């Protein structure tokens, strides 16, 4: 096995948790690197890492109390509030990562695009973006607009360091930054609101390809800049969510989407942090999604691509089908507990979690997660119990 470069690029600020070593040996990053320590040597993590997508939010009573009287997007742009919401599940569940509390349409809001999260509906734009003129009118985001994001990340990183110090650990829980992939973001922009079948963007990419590429390119720059702001402020990894990529056939994804996702990731690929790519219903394009990340990296053999796997797929099978990546080893996987089983009896859920852990052992590294987000009706005690179970299984 060749030695991988695992130290972050000099582009990270010297006080960044990875550059200072604060998060460098965290279990999450060990598995994101494929079971390597920060020096590139094979090493087992001190415990098996787990976190949950949507772990911060509606399933927590403390979140609902904190959010009273504020809209979703406004709460994302209040640094103290966004930081506290990000920290809540780490305190409660002892998960191995914090996922930054924000929303994929925040870059639109920061660019001056009229958008709001309507309760029970989702993101709704004042005006859909459907023509070449609409796209041309989109403002580019000024870097200074990300100041509240950077402040929220810095507050969160400081809070995570305090929590780890209180627990007597010599590593701090890492923060994961995130953004929406260009297809998912552009799909909201074309439809103007959530859609089940995404007819608008699917029509545009074929019938008006030039406009589609201009829009997806704008979305890639917006999401890429959003991720970069989070990483430079202190996030130790970044995840690109392509929630709706599963609505596309393989050929359409390859021709009209993959390149834009690569461009989004290139905004952070030079910073040396692990990059996670996740979508739902993406079994037919997982190999392409891996290539999307590897194509973004300055040196794929030295980077840290990770794939999130939804609940529809078996981790062992995915690991076998993907084989080795550009670095010559199995790609690390993240997932993929079925969220539906959070409502099952404990014996059923425990057996399922243990099977996920067993299947994940076939991958180059494995971070336990859900195969989608935490449903709002979830009992938080169940999540805490899952974390305790996973930590009890020797890595």
Give 91-143 pLDDT, tens digit per residue. 999 999 999 999 999 999 999 999 999 998 999 999 999 999 999 999 999 99
* Per-residue pLDDT, 301: 81
Catalytic residue selected from 188, 253, 290, 338: 188
Pairing of strands 122-125, 115-118: antiparallel
* Per-residue pLDDT, 328: 72
8 A C-beta contact, residue 268 and residue 227? yes
- 4 pLDDT more than 50: no
What percentage of the chain's residues is helix, strand, coil (to nearest 5)?
50, 10, 40
Catalytic status, residue 270: no
Catalytic residue selected from 54, 155, 202, 228: 54
Catalytic status, residue 354: no
Query: Would you list the domain boundaries of the chain?
Result: 27-392
Fold of 27-392: TIM Barrel (3.20.20)
* Per-residue pLDDT, 9: 61
The DSSP bridge partners found for residue 308 are 334
Per-residue pLDDT band for 8 (boundaries 50, 70, 90) equals: low
Catalytic residue selected from 37, 47, 67, 270: 67
User: What is the pLDDT averaged over residues 30-46?
Assistant: 96
**Taking every pair of C-alpha atoms in the chain, what is the biggest distance, in angstroms?**
58
- 5 pLDDT more than 70: no
Give 363-388 pLDDT, tens digit per residue. 999 999 999 999 999 999 999 999 99
- Of 186, 188, 268, 189, residue with least CA distance to 224: 268
Catalytic status, residue 188: yes
- 150 pLDDT more than 90: yes
Tokens representing 200?
Answer: 């608008």
Catalytic residue selected from 63, 92, 96, 103: 103
Catalytic status, residue 58: yes
- 10 pLDDT more than 80: no
């Amino acid at each position: 096995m060749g030695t991988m470069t695992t130290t972050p690029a000099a582009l990270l600020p010297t006080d960044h948790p990875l550059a200072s070593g604060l998060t460098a040996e965290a279990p999450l990053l060990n598995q994101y690197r494929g079971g390597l320590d920060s020096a590139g040597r094979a090493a087992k993590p001190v415990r098996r890492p787990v976190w949950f997508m949507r772990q911060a939010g509606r399933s927590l009573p403390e979140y609902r109390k904190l959010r009273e009287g504020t809209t979703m997007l406004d709460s994302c742009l209040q640094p103290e509030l966004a930081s506290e919401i990000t920290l809540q599940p780490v305190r409660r569940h002892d998960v191995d990562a914090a996922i930054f509390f924000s929303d994929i349409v925040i870059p639109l809001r920061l660019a001056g695009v009229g958008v709001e999260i309507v309760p029970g509906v989702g993101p709704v734009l004042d005006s859909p973006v459907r023509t070449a003129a609409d796209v041309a009118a989109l403002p580019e985001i000024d870097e200074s607009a990300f100041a509240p994001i950077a402040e929220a990340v810095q507050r969160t990183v400081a809070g995570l360091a305090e929590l780890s110090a209180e627990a007597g650990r010599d590593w701090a829980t890492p923060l994961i930054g995130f953004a929406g992939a260009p297809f998912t973001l552009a799909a909201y922009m074309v439809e103007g609101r959530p859609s089940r079948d995404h007819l608008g963007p699917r029509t545009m990419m074929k019938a008006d390809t030039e406009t589609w590429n201009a829009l997806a390119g704008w979305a890639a720059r917006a999401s890429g800049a959003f991720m970069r702001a989070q990483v430079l402020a202190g996030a130790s990894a970044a995840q690109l969510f392509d929630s709706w990529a599963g609505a596309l056939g393989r050929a359409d994804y390859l021709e009209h989407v993959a390149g834009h996702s690569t461009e989004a990731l290139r905004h952070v690929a030079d910073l040396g942090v692990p990059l996670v790519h996740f979508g739902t219903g993406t079994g037919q394009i997982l190999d392409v999604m891996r290539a999307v990340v590897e194509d973004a990296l300055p040196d794929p053999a030295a980077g840290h691509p990770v794939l999130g796997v939804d609940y529809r797929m078996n981790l062992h099978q995915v690991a076998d089908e993907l084989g080795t990546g550009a670095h010559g080893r199995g790609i690390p996987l993240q997932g993929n507990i079925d969220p539906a089983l959070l409502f099952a009896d404990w014996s059923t859920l425990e057996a399922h979690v243990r099977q996920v852990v067993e299947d994940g052992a076939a991958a180059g590294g494995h971070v336990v997660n859900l195969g989608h987000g935490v449903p709002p009706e979830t009992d938080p005690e169940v999540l805490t119990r899952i974390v305790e179970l996973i930590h009890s299984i020797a890595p």
